[in-house]
Structure 1
């Protein structure tokens, strides 16, 4: 019933709070002129540098590097959105990603079932590939796209449709797996099943109306697939 899975990256493959809290705190510290300025920059992107907590509507959660840069730019005179986007991409590639579950054995097992695997992230493609390579899982994916890969950003369906079309899959037999409404809306717009996971910032109540199933993390996917077959 399912021939392919396309995953979001941040909050899905990797635990969002652990991974991106450290990066956001470090990035703000590198451009802020002092604690008050750092707090103001944090508020502009829905982030508290002291607690490393994200607001539910933080652009860091599901938006693009350019969106984050646009939110920061008014508070950083002399820096352009283009400059800040480049800085975000450069530093994001070395962000310390924390696996939501052990990824290599899970992805290897899914591929062994004959499933095609894709990645669709609103991160830029270059740092996304750096994160996958750092965890030794690049070769697990048949398709990798960021918002700047030419297929558009989520919640648009472009990346999902490019995955299905490029691999000859029927979108109705593909599941989009993500931790945000952007992910789930992209999957539904592409005609795919939608699987929500709770390793991001959004809770079950936020995600359930947009998902066919809500799982604690991607480690529960094999059992979900087995339930579909039975």
Structure 2
């Protein structure tokens, strides 16, 4: 494996535990869009792959790894009089203030990785404003050289464009950037970009789904420093 000099993280399901963070928010968001109509909220949930009775996400849920525009497009047919822009704006407003459940204490993790010389970044299918708000609330926004979101001007994952843009911005070859994510979208984007990839199990995807797609599957990002030491013993990235 080429020497890893940078680490690129997905946000939801990777830095933050997806279920603990987003299940209750999804119920509240769908009820908000349904204007309190529980029956309609259930239909909206079904349209985006949310199991209302269990507050859980189906493995193909649009809420999990798609963009706000994708989610809005799935909801729009059930919301006469609504608009794509209105749904996306409401989603962004509501999601920016959601308390994030860290997958592991993130400040010490980022401090350790930066201390070893790694350049860090985030690529997310979320919008930039809420993404930055979540990272700022966790105290780690300043740790990232670049934060690239679905509204940053690049096609969303699983397209590789955001990942390749990060590598170019940092003056690195794609093979020098490790992608860490929780979904098949993350792994597909990294493969298409020519990047090594590590998957974590703090999202919705299972180990069985992720193992064929990743170079390694870890329970969470907490295991990343140990994995890196095993891959590059004694190496401190420039």
Give the TM-score category using the shorter length.
over 0.9
Provide the C-alpha distance between the structure 2 equivalents of 1:113 and 1:170, rounded to a whole number of angstroms: 19
2:17 alignment partner, one of 7, 15, 18: 15
Provide the C-alpha distance between the structure 1 equivalents of 2:227 and 2:61, rounded to a whole number of angstroms: 30
Tell me if structure 2 keeps the 8 A contact 1:23–1:96.
no
Query: TM-score w.r.t. structure 2 length?
Result: 0.94
The aligned residue for residue 26 of structure 2 is: 24
Quote the offset at 1:120 in angstroms: 0.2
Say whether residues 1:208 and 2:208 are aligned partners.
no
Q: Deviations over 1:93-115 (max 9, x none)?
A: 11121000000000111000000
Tell me if structure 2 keeps the 8 A contact 1:124–1:148.
yes
Provide the C-alpha distance between the structure 1 equivalents of 2:41 and 2:86, rounded to a whole number of angstroms: 18
Provide the C-alpha distance between the structure 2 equivalents of 1:219 and 1:227, rounded to a whole number of angstroms: 14
The aligned residue for residue 6 of structure 1 is: 8
Secondary structure at the counterpart of residue 177 of structure 1: strand
Structure 2 gap ranges (5+): 234-238
The aligned residue for residue 137 of structure 1 is: 140
Deviates more, 1:112-121 or 1:163-172: 163-172
Structure 1 gap ranges (5+): none
Deviates more, 1:56-65 or 1:26-35: 26-35
2:154 alignment partner, one of 151, 155, 177: 151
Provide the C-alpha distance between the structure 2 equivalents of 1:125 and 1:37, rounded to a whole number of angstroms: 29
Deviates more, 1:106-115 or 1:32-41: 32-41
Provide the C-alpha distance between the structure 2 equivalents of 1:96 and 1:58, rounded to a whole number of angstroms: 21
The aligned residue for residue 118 of structure 1 is: 121
Provide the C-alpha distance between the structure 2 equivalents of 1:48 and 1:200, rounded to a whole number of angstroms: 16
